[in-house]
Structure 1
Amino acid sequence: MTDTPENGAAAPTAAPQITSRVLAQYIRDMSFENILAQKGVTGDAQPEIQVQVNLDARKRSTDNQYEVITKLNITSKTKEKGDPLFVLEIEYAGVFHVEGVPEDQMHPYLLIECPRITFPFLRRIVSDVTRDGGFPPLNLETIDFLALYRSELARRAESEKAKAN
């Protein structure tokens, strides 16, 4: 007996099996400047926080290994006068072993799925650094890496369109 649907059509082929493992995670670079402690701030110091996120991925020399870097630039200023309170810049990397992802889907996989895996660890570091710097711990909101990826693609398309004109 064969495994075919009742209408006689062949069974659909299975999707490729994707395997992904985190081999390492580490801080590539970090800087925390406590401007409040250095200069002092007068008046009400209600913070306004801005977070900029950049992603980078590169193939490593070993087969199926990739390094994915999440770069955060976090600035905190007073709402009232815009006086800076602190600046935190961090590059957090994950080394991944990835197999089974089709080549045309590797770029989005690396820039969406991989940062999603390392983000909780990066969030914890940001919280600890801001707390240890004398501020309330900064608990970052979850980043939508899919939306971030799509907006970067749209930005690049607009940039290419502007260059063509």
Structure 2
Amino acid sequence: MEFTHFNENGKARMVDVGGKDETKRVAIARGTIKMNKETLNKVRDGQMKKGDVLAVAQVAGIMGAKKTSDIVPMCHNILINGVDLNFEIDEENSSINIEAEVRTTGKTGVEMEALSAVSIAALTIYDMCKAIDKEMVIDHIRLVKKTGGKSGEFIRKGEEV
């Protein structure tokens, strides 16, 4: 197996995507933040002192997708066509499920941008709720689907998309 992010001397490099074809690409990532029931109720009911947690997390997730190449060393700066985040409150498990979909037309995929969007949204929820709940857990961040490019479509087994 050849590692694409290392040159012939074993040093880190950014992959040259100049010769690749531009294709429509989509990536969907998901993750969860678990919290105590009191915290979840305050988030759901808009009672957190810092404001509307999910609205702020929505914007933060979009910003996270846009800034991925600034924080992940070998990521290309990608022109993103769109980012969409959805939050699902899971009362039974006292958690918030986060899903991000990122779209582009380009020479490289947006998997890292989708994963960053979920991660930053979860971190923002944590930041806005940490004053009342330091036990929160960010969990199970994963790529669930990607389309486009040479490698084609990927759908994680057991995931509905």
Greater fraction of residues in strand:
1
Q: Which has the higher contact order (CA 8 A, sep 6+)?
A: 2
Tell whether the structures are fold-level matches, with TM greater than 0.5.
Answer: no
- Return the index of the structure with the highest Cα Rg: 1
Q: TM-score, normalising length from structure 2? A: 0.34
